[in-house]
Amino acid sequence: MSLAHTTRVAIVGGGFTGLSVAYELAKQGIAVTVLEAEQEIGGLAAAFEVGGEKLDRFYHHWFTNDVEVMRLIDELGLNHKVAINPTNTGVYYANHFFKLSTPWDLLNFTPLAFTDRIRLGLLALRARRVDDWMALEHKTAAEWLKELGGERVYRVVWEPLLKGKFGPVADEISAVWFWNKLKLRGGSRGKGGEERLAYFKGGFVALAEALAARVRELGGRIETGAAVTAIRPDGALWRVDTANGTVTADQVIATTALPLVAGMVRDWAPADYVARLERIHYLANVCLVLELDRSLSDTYWLNVNDPSFPFVGVIEHTNFEKPETYGGRHIVYLSKYLPHTDALYRMDADAVLDFALPYLQQMFPKLERGWIQRHHVWKARWSQPVVEKRYSSLIPPVAGPLPGFHLCSMAQIYPEDRGTNYAVREGRKLGRELAERLG
């Protein structure tokens, strides 16, 4: 079936950013078409089915101070689908488990001397008081964290997390990236200091589908399985080529990973512009999802501060959302950020499980392979932009090199890190600005 048609605005990418732009435009009666390469919308929020319920391929939650996504949910009349719960956060260090959900847990974190525990607590408070994040741009996260908490706190707590998240590029990560993480987590707490997180019933894809449904109700068009091969100017218009036909538009918004956009515009865009799109590097992600017949622990989010363990964390989702939601299955995510050239990224699901299981059994000695009822592996090539020092100077502007071409990608979210809340914020902002300009 041919996709060839004419619209006012063509949006490349059907994740939360693209859908949020389309929502704002469609509200103003502006004809809009969203082109998504995959067969499902949602981008990194795509899901699969467990026990008759949709489950996120990659674990997701919101912080309670993620106001943009909460505002969208309110507009869509879906507040009843949001669950906000206290969560148990822990650390695995030197073959022991430690809780780190409340200030009291911090004071009992014995891998650090008492004075270092105080430094760790003060570090979080000092980080939240930073107003001028630009003052941190010239420092790496490692440099800044050592300044705030000392060498021992860095080696025990922060260095394993940085290396687990960013692997070979951990030493390049900006202090701004880490500052924002500390600020977000510190602002998502209850009265007793416990961390509180939010989840959307039916998975984050349910919110994406509800948003897409609203776009369609407002007259917008959303096409899946519509991979864009090229974006090119044609006089005062833009032509967006797909395998199933060309969409002609007055305006184009590209929301996909910047190197992918570079490939779409290479034939006409200036060489320095293309180089800028390709300058920002991305890590891939491999996520192993286990369906177990029993629980591993009572911890929701377990940070692994052990350099020998190949995954950055063990997230037991059903310590947040009840296992009854998934037919009684206990859901565990193991996440690994890595270069896309890494051998693990090329493994199939069975090989990834074979690789991961001995490490998991070392952590949980009672775990038997028979507990695992099913396993799944999901991969994302463009998962995490590498936020380096002076990242603000690397980010390309929203306005492209020719009028009518716009960028709105997760790599441009800064000083915050990528996330649903900011994808919604930036998408709606651009959508409102463009709607006003188009009248």
| pLDDT tens track for 115-145 | 999 998 888 888 888 888 999 999 999 999 9
The separation between the first and the last C-alpha atoms of the chain, rounded to the nearest angstrom, is 32
Q: How far is CA 166 from the centre of its chain?
A: 14
Q: Report the distance separating Cα 35 and Cα 16, nearest Å.
A: 13
Residue 251 confidence (pLDDT) = 98
Print burial letters for 146-180: b (CB count within 10 Å at least 16), e (below 16). Answer: bebbbebbbebbbbbbbbbbbbebbeebbbbbbbb
Q: Is 342 exposed, middle or buried (0-12, 13-18, 19+ CB in 10 A)?
A: middle
Tokens of 135: 């003052």
Give the three-state DSSP class for 52.
coil
Give the three-state DSSP class for 321.
coil
Q: Report the distance separating Cα 239 and Cα 252, nearest Å.
A: 9
Domain 282-385 has CATH 3.40.50.880: no
Highest mean pLDDT among 117-121, 264-268, 318-322 belongs to 264-268
Q: Is 349 exposed, middle or buried (0-12, 13-18, 19+ CB in 10 A)?
A: middle
Residue 271 confidence (pLDDT) = 97
The residues spanned by each domain of the chain are: 5-60+203-281+387-438, 84-196, 282-385
Q: How confident is the model at residue 185 (pLDDT cuts 50, 70, 90)?
A: low
Q: Report the distance separating Cα 290 and Cα 163, nearest Å.
A: 24
Task: Kindly state the average pLDDT of the residues 351-372.
Answer: 96
Kindly report the pTM of this predicted structure. Answer: 0.92
Q: What is the total residue count of the chain?
A: 439
Residue 368 confidence (pLDDT) = 96
The CATH classification of domain 5-60+203-281+387-438, taken from the options 3.90.1010.10, 3.50.50.60, 3.40.50.970, 3.90.930.12? 3.50.50.60
